[in-house]
């Protein structure tokens, strides 16, 4: 393969093309695109060299990456191409970047900010268009100019990709791109995506993951059976697997990692952000079907002296990162559990009221080594949606949610098996 992985065209435009001896031949200006069997393919690169345009065919490329493209030819062997000839062709940058995408009833919906490519069966294919804010930031060069900014902030911006599966065939003199289905049909329920992922080949799985994006796939994988989850994760590279697991609830991520071979699990954890890695490593230490094994560290905790207004602000700031936002767990400076406050409680108290004045002090809890059955009995008896889990020092370690209890009591929902 000339390139192993995926890349966006914005990461290649303007990069150097060099011959095998290291001499610079020019810079990449555009890409000539032709129809393919499944995806459009790049027939060659348009190179700008000393005010001339040269055409570098895909077969003449030795390898390429985000820094340079290595050519098998020297400058004298490369064929020139004129602007008049290019007018009759489809160029990715000139003709596809910034084009509107319309749905089948003609409504303009989004704009192409970038194009994702991948080598498939020896050909360089256009697999998806990026129509999101992330694509715009990449176009501005932030990924290569400021790696820290990209890694800490931009990587949290969700992907918004549309697969070429949903885009009508390319034609010369493109004025706009059209979807083959209404946009709303592209957004499927995670369970439906999970069903599709379990039924298609690994190559098609990869294409679907690339098209839908990390966050969507992270929602779908927990809906899959255990065997299919592991097979899918085994087919991902470590970086992609880490991004997917970071986007999951920590308990779901831990369930998957513990089923992978130990060496592979460690490699993926190394790629994860420190905070997410620590969460899943802690959860992986507990035995199956104990409270520690069932709990998640995905919950909101606050101090007792904040007001209702401050609590609402805290929820708004953190809601995108957490699934369980209906109960606030009130702790002291040493993480001892003092009480709980529900969203209902917040709405029924004045904005300036501190939480300690009305929080629930009589909180039902369970310890890390308690059984899952005991947790289920407590939650059923007291009609709880979540149950706090305390460590040996009675500090809050996590919570068990009702969906985890359902999975325990009804194995057909998702079979869990830990070593």
pLDDT in tens, 144-161: 655 565 666 666 677 788
Mean pLDDT of the 337-365 span: 92
Band (35; pLDDT cuts 50, 70, 90): confident
Q: In 3D, which of 356, 358, 361, 357 has the Cα closest to residue 337?
A: 361
Confidence (pLDDT) at 187: 58
340 pLDDT more than 70 = yes
Q: Is the pLDDT of residue 123 over 50?
A: yes
Q: Which CATH superfamily is domain 6-89 in?
A: PRC-barrel domain (2.30.30.240)
Q: Tell me what pLDDT residue 27 has.
A: 92
CA distances from 25 to 18, 76, 77, 153 (A): 5, 10, 11, 36
Backbone φ/ψ region at 6: left (φ over 0), alpha (ψ -120 to 50), beta: beta
Residue limits of CATH 3.10.580.10 in the chain: 294-409
Q: How many residues are given for the chain?
A: 419
In this predicted structure, the answer to whether residue 285 has a pLDDT above a threshold of 80 is: yes
What whole-number percentage of the chain has pLDDT above 90?
26
Cα 80 vs. chain centroid, distance in angstroms?
Answer: 41
pLDDT mean across residues, the chain:
83
Predicted confidence at residue 108, as pLDDT, reads: 60
pLDDT (mean) for 204-216:
72
Task: Write down the CATH number for the domain with range 189-285.
Answer: 1.25.60.10
User: Measured between alpha carbons, how far is 301 from 360 in angstroms, rounded to an integer?
Assistant: 14
What sign does the CA torsion over 351, 354, 360, 365 have? positive
> Looking at residue 96, what DSSP letter applies?
I
- CATH label, 294-409, candidates 3.30.1440.10, 3.90.550.10, 3.40.50.12280, 3.10.580.10: 3.10.580.10
pLDDT at 412 over 50: no
| Residue range(s) in the chain whose domain bears CATH number 2.30.30.240 | 6-89
Confidence at residue 357, expressed as pLDDT on a 0 to 100 scale: 93
Using pLDDT thresholds of 50, 70 and 90, give the confidence band for residue 119.
Answer: confident
Q: Which long-range contacts (CB under 8 A, 24 or more apart) does 356-360 make?
A: 356/304, 356/305, 356/330, 359/304, 359/330
Token pair of 229 as six digits: 């989850």
Q: Which pLDDT score, from 0 to 100, does residue 410 have?
A: 67
Kindly list the distances between the CA atom of residue 5 and the CA atoms of 30, 121, 178, in Å, as whole numbers in the listed order: 20, 13, 27
Residue 92 has pLDDT above 80, yes or no: yes
At residue 208, the pLDDT reads 67
pLDDT of residue 38: 75
Residue ranges, CATH 1.25.60.10, the chain:
189-285
Cβ atoms of 35 and 97 closer than 8 Å: no
67-81 pLDDT tens trace: 888 888 877 788 888
Residue 404 pLDDT > 50: yes
Q: What is the pLDDT of residue 268?
A: 92
Question: pLDDT tens digits, residue range 298-332?
Answer: 888 999 999 999 999 988 888 767 777 889 999 99
Q: Is residue 55 pLDDT above 80, yes or no? A: yes
Confidence of residue 346 (pLDDT cuts 50, 70, 90): very high
What pLDDT, on the 0 to 100 scale, is given for residue 416?
38
């Amino acid at each position: 393969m000339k390139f192993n992985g995926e890349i966006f065209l914005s990461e290649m435009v303007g990069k150097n093309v060099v011959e095998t001896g290291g001499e610079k031949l020019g810079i990449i200006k555009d890409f000539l695109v032709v129809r393919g069997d499944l995806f459009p393919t790049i027939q060659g690169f348009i190179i700008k060299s000393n005010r001339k345009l040269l055409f570098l065919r895909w077969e003449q490329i030795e390898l390429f990456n985000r820094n340079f493209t290595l050519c098998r030819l020297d400058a004298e062997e490369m064929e020139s191409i004129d602007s008049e000839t290019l007018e009759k062709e489809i160029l990715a940058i000139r003709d596809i970047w910034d084009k509107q995408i319309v749905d089948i009833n003609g409504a303009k919906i989004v704009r192409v900010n970038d194009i994702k490519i991948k080598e498939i069966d020896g050909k360089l294919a256009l697999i998806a268009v990026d129509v999101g804010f992330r694509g715009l930031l990449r176009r501005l060069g932030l990924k290569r100019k400021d790696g820290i900014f990209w890694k800490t902030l931009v990587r949290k911006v969700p992907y918004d990709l549309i697969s070429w599966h949903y885009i009508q065939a390319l034609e010369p003199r493109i004025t706009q791109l059209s979807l083959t289905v209404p946009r709303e049909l592209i957004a499927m329920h995670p369970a439906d995506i999970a069903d599709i992922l379990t039924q298609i080949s690994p190559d098609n799985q990869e294409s679907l993951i690339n098209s839908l994006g990390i966050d969507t796939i992270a929602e779908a994988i927990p809906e899959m059976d255990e065997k299919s989850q592991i097979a899918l994760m085994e087919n991902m590279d470590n970086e992609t697997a880490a991004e997917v697991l970071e986007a999951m609830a920590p308990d779901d991520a831990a369930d998957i990692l513990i089923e992978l071979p130990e060496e592979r699990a460690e490699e993926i954890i190394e790629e994860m952000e420190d905070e997410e890695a620590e969460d899943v490593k802690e959860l992986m230490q507990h035995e199956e079907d104990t409270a520690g094994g069932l709990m998640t560290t995905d919950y909101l905790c606050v101090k007792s002296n904040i007001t209702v207004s401050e609590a609402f602000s805290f929820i708004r700031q953190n809601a995108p990162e957490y699934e369980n936002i209906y109960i606030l767990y009130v702790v002291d400076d040493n993480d001892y559990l003092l009480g709980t406050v529900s969203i209902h409680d917040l709405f029924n108290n004045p904005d300036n009221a501190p939480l300690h004045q009305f929080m629930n002090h009589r909180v039902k809890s369970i310890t890390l080594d308690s059984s899952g059955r005991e947790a289920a009995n407590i939650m059923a008896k007291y009609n709880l949606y979540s149950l706090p889990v305390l460590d040996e020092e009675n500090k809050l370690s996590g919570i068990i949610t009702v969906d985890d209890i359902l999975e325990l009591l009804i194995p057909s929902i998702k079979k869990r098996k830990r070593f």
